[in-house]
Amino acid sequence: MPYQDAAMHRSTPDSAPDGRMSYERWVICALLFFATVIAYVDRAVIANLKNTLEAVIPGLNDYKYGIITVAFQLAYAIAMLVAGGLTDKLGTRKAFAIAICLWSVAAMLPGAAFSVASFALAMFLLGLGEAANFPACIKTVAEWFPKRERALATGIFNSGANVGNMIAPPIVAVLVGLFSGISWFGPARAWRGCFIVAGLMGFVWLAFWLLIYRRPEDHPRISKSELALILSDPGEKIKKVPWAHVLPCKETWAFAIAKFLTDPIWWFYLFWIPGFIQTTFHLTLAQSKTPVMLAYAISIIGSVGGGQISSTLIAHGKTANVGRKVAMLICVLCIVPIFAVPYIHSLWVVVALLGLATAGHQGWSANVFTLPSDMFPKVAVASVTGIGGMAGAFGGVLLLYSAGAIVEKTHSFVTLFIIACLAYPLALLVVHTLAPRLSPAKLAQSE
C-alpha cells in the first residue's frame, strides 16, 4: 500500500484534542545547531593555528597548507555522496550518532601529527566523518518542520557554522595558554591539546542526541497539536526514491551547481581568513581573535535573517519560489563588495566587509539548503543534499588547491576575492534557469 502521510488522518493544530502546543521541534533544532558548532570548531582549529604550525611543522608553507585543506575537502566530497544515501537508509538518529563518533575521533588525530603528510591524513579522516552533518541536519529538518518553517530552522542550525568559527579563535587562544602551563605539553606542544579538546566535545553532544532524539511520530514528549503542525503538508505517496531516479533531474543539478559554485567560498573563508588577517595586519594569534570573532559574529545575523526573510514572505502569501529567490538575491547583494578587501588597509573596514559577506553566504546557504525539501519528497532529501554537498566539496577541492598555489606564488588574495564576488550571482542565475518555479521534481515512484 502506498505510503500516506499521517497528517492526512490528523486534525489541524487548532483543533488538536489536547489543545496544547509543545515545542520539541525547536529542541531538535537546537541539537542540530550544537552539532554544527562542534563540526566547525573542529575544522577551524587548524585555520587559527596556521601560522603557529608553520613554525613547528617541517616544510609547512602556504602551498602545503593548501594541500592539507584539500585533503579534508577531498574526503568530504567523497563521503558526502555516501553520507546522504546512508542517512536516508539508516535514519537520522543512527546515522548522526555513527558520524559524530567517527569525526570526533578524527578531530583529535591532528594532535598527534608531526608532518605535513600526517596532518593531511588526519584532516582527510575528519572530512570523511563530518560529511554526514549537513545531510543528516537537512533530513531532520524535513522530518520535524513543515515547509513554511524549514528555511528558518535551517538558518538557525546553519548559524552554528558561524558560531563555531566565531568561538574557535578565543577557544584556541585560551587552550594554547592553558596547555603551555602543563609540563607534558609546554609552549612548544600546546597546540596539540587544542585538537584533543575539540574532538572530545562531540562525545558530549552524542549523549544528548541519543537521549533526546526520536522521529516526531515516536517522540514521547510531542503534543498532538505539534505533531499535526509538523505533518500538515500534503501527504507524500512515494515510499522510496532510488538514487538513479534523483540524479537525472534538472532540479538536482540546480542545487548541485549552486553548491559547486558557492560552497568553496565558505571553505576559503574558513581555512584562510584567520591567517589572512594575521599576516596582512601583522597580528599574533591572541591579537587576531577579536577581529576574526567579529567577522563571524556578523554572519550569524545573515544565517537566521536569510531564513527569516523567505519564511516571512511565504507566510504573507508569496510562493516558495518568490520567497527563496528574493532572499537569495538580497544575500548576493551583501556579498558582492567582498572584491574590495585586498585594497583596503583598515582592519575594521576589512572585518566589516568580511562580516557582510559571510552573513550573505549564510543567508544564501539557509535558503539553498531548503531547495531539496522544496522540490523533492522527504525520502529523497538527504540523497539530494548529499549529491549537492559532494559537488560543493569538489568545488572546494579546486579552490583550496588553487588558493594555496596562488598565495604561495603571488603573495596576493586579489584573485580569490574576485572569485568570491562573482560566484553567487552566477549560481543564482543557474538556479533560476534550471528551476524557474521550484516545482516538484518529476520522479518515477518506487513502491
Question: Is pLDDT above 80 for 259?
Answer: yes
Residue 5: per-residue pLDDT:
37
At residue 389, what is the residue type? G
Please indicate, yes or no, if residue 6 is contained in any of the structural domains: no
Backbone angles phi, psi at 240, to 5 degrees: -155, 155
Q: pLDDT of 241-253, one tens digit each?
A: 777 788 899 999 9
Q: How far is CA 432 from its chain centroid?
A: 23
- Domain count for the chain, please give it: 1
pLDDT value of residue 89? 85
Q: 441 lies in a domain?
A: no
Report residue 298 CA to chain centroid gap.
16
| Other residues' Cβ atoms within 10 Å of the Cβ of residue 89 | 12
Q: In whole angstroms, give the CA distance from residue 435 to residue 413.
A: 34
* pLDDT at 237 (0 to 100): 60
pTM of the complete model: 0.78
Q: What is the CATH number of the domain that holds 391?
A: 1.20.1250.20
Asked if residue 221 is part of any domain, the answer here is no
Rounded to an integer, the average pLDDT of 388-393 is 88
Is the residue at 5 inside a domain? Answer: no
Residue 50 lies in a domain: yes
For residue 49, what pLDDT is reported? 94
3-class DSSP state for residue 240? strand
In a domain, 439, yes or no: no
Write phi, then psi, for 232 (nearest 5 degrees).
-80, -10
**pLDDT: which is higher, 194 or 379:** 194
Provide the pLDDT for residue 445: 54
Rg (CA), the chain: 22
Q: Find, among 19, 271, 30, the residue nearest to 141 by Cα.
A: 30
Work out the average pLDDT over 259-282.
Answer: 94
pLDDT, position 308: 85
How far from 24 is each of 27, 85, 238, 436, CA to CA, in Å? 5, 26, 26, 35
The three grid cell numbers given for residue 258, joined into one nine-digit string: 549552486
Q: Which residue would you say has higher pLDDT here, 338 or 5?
A: 338
Banded model confidence at residue 444, pLDDT cuts 50, 70, 90? low
pLDDT tens digits, one per residue of 397-426: 999 999 999 999 999 999 999 999 999 999
pLDDT bracket for residue 369 (50, 70, 90):
confident
Q: Which of 107, 151, 112, 137 is nearest to 307 (CA)?
A: 151
Percent of the chain past pLDDT 70, that is, above it, reads 94
Domain that holds residue 75: 15-215+226-231+239-434
* Mean per-residue pLDDT, 141-152: 87
Is residue 440 a part of any domain in this protein? Answer: no
Residue 272 lies in a domain: yes
